[in-house]
Amino acid sequence: MTGVVVDHLVAVLVLGGLFVAGVVVVPNAVYVGFLSVDEQQLRNVAGGVLKTILLDEGCPVSWGSSSYFDAGGVRRFGLALSGADSMYVLDSDKVERLVVGNPVGFLEYARARELLGLKDYGFGIKIAAPFRVVVSALPSGGAYALKYEVSVALNDGKPVPNALVKGIVVYSRYMGGSGEDEKYSLGFVVVKSLTNELGRSVVECSVGAEYSDVVALFKATVSNVATVVFYRASSLPNNIATVNIVGDEAILTHPKYDPNENRWIENVGLLTDEELMSFYNGTKSDALNYGSNWLWRKSFRGMKSLNPVLLIFNICAVEKSIGRKGVILVGPYPNYLGDRVVQYGGVPQGATVELHTPVVISGMTYIVTFTLWREA
């Protein structure tokens, strides 16, 4: 009798195991398999779209280079630089059209999605520096001495030792005159150093005399790959003007904030991946104000071929609660942060895939992060 009961229990357990396997385990395995297939399909779509964005020149091929940007004139979306000698070289003018809020025009996300044929998908793009550079000011020993600590790290936070740090301290100096006739000159000092085992470097210099405004530009190079960032101890003077580059044109736009007094462009400098050069001295006609002169633009033949990373403007302006002084502006945004596109696209929903690709813009290397998802 006992043997019969045991046999019966064994049979029940076997049947129960088969039931669990059939009802729970197998469907779960199939579900996981479906998820894997679905993710791979999404990854395939993402790979194809990313190649189109980075390798296609778009139509027209110079669609980002008009200073009077018309998104309706873009017939095909692609960021590749026309005539580039290698792949994954992007056109800086087209990349600037992905900076949301750009005062000289940007391509709306909905339009880009339409041009890419992504009816059932959403996407996001970031174009960032390959590593991070953080700058902080340190107490200095003299009246006109400046001292900075520069930290270089990979994007995962790991410090980078033996990175070459080149600093360019740019200052505006009062040269005479009063009120609207005040004159200011643009000067700079170059310093170099290497990061230690903690990825840190300290650089210091003296500008020699009193200055009206000062900023520091730092280029960190690791294995021939460089990142450029800018630092100023005071807050950004965003009530003065916004800096942009389109092709061979340098463009300033008035933010239409108070104060509304005239501001005059004293000097313009250009930073490439190699050097800073001063290339224009302004006149009284180079003015910006709240009214009819809310936009200043000037074409400099061959400027784009120099691969400008940043433009530096020395402007005679009134800063609110401070008065008239020489003010240094650096742009365009977000180039002075070391990045090119902080965030462009939609809000991810559900499952996403993320791809990373190195690209070259204005002679410097950046990492494109591309995210794709299915729209509900």
Question: Hey, where are the domains in the chain?
Answer: 1-119, 131-337
**What local confidence, expressed as pLDDT, does residue 37 receive?**
54
Predicted confidence (pLDDT) per residue in 335-358, tens digit: 999 999 999 999 998 889 999 999
pLDDT at 168 over 70: yes
pTM: 0.85
**What local confidence, expressed as pLDDT, does residue 113 receive?**
96
CB 295 within 8 A of CB 162: no
In the chain, % helix, strand, coil (3-state, to 5) comes to 20, 40, 35
CB 279 within 8 A of CB 367: no
pLDDT at 273 over 90: no
Residues in CB range of 46: below 8 A, 6 or more apart: 123, 353, 355, 370, 371, 372
Greater confidence (36 vs 224) lies with 224
Pair of tokens at residue 53 = 């964005």
Give the number of other CB atoms < 10 A from CB of residue 203. Answer: 21
pLDDT at 313 over 90: yes
CB 54 within 8 A of CB 94: no
User: If you average pLDDT over residues 307-328, what whole number do you get?
Assistant: 88
Give the number of other CB atoms < 10 A from CB of residue 348. Answer: 14
Residues in CB range of 99: below 8 A, 6 or more apart: 106, 332, 333, 334, 341, 342, 344
Could you give the 3-state DSSP secondary structure of residue 264?
strand
pLDDT at 81 over 60: yes
Predicted confidence (pLDDT) per residue in 97-141, tens digit: 999 999 999 999 999 999 999 999 999 999 999 999 999 999 988
**What local confidence, expressed as pLDDT, does residue 256 receive?**
74
pLDDT at 20 over 60: no
> In which order are the strands placed within the sheet that holds 183-194?
183-194, 164-176, 213-222, 225-231
Q: How would CATH label the architecture of 131-337?
A: Sandwich (2.60)
Is residue 125 exposed (0-12), middle (13-18) or buried (19+ Cβ within 10 Å)? buried
In eight-state DSSP terms, residue 236 is P
In eight-state DSSP terms, residue 9 is H
Distance CA 307, CA 285 (A): 27
**What local confidence, expressed as pLDDT, does residue 22 receive?**
46
Residues in CB range of 24: below 8 A, 6 or more apart: none
**What local confidence, expressed as pLDDT, does residue 11 receive?**
47
Nearest one of 207, 197, 201, 196 to 135, comparing CA atoms? 201
Greater confidence (259 vs 231) lies with 231
Please give the sequence-ordered ranges of beta strands (E in DSSP) within 129-275, or none if there are none: 131-138, 145-154, 164-176, 183-194, 200-206, 213-222, 225-231, 242-246, 249-253, 263-271
> What is the secondary structure of 138-172 as a DSSP string?
E--SSTTEEEEEEEEEETTS-B-TT-EEEEEEEEE
Question: How many angstroms separate the Cα of 285 from the Cα of each of 90, 182, 200, 246, 312?
Answer: 35, 15, 45, 21, 19
Which segment of 11-15, 143-147, 204-208, 234-238 scores lowest on mean pLDDT? 11-15
Average pLDDT of the chain to the nearest whole number: 87
**What local confidence, expressed as pLDDT, does residue 35 receive?**
44
Residues in CB range of 140: below 8 A, 6 or more apart: 146, 147, 204
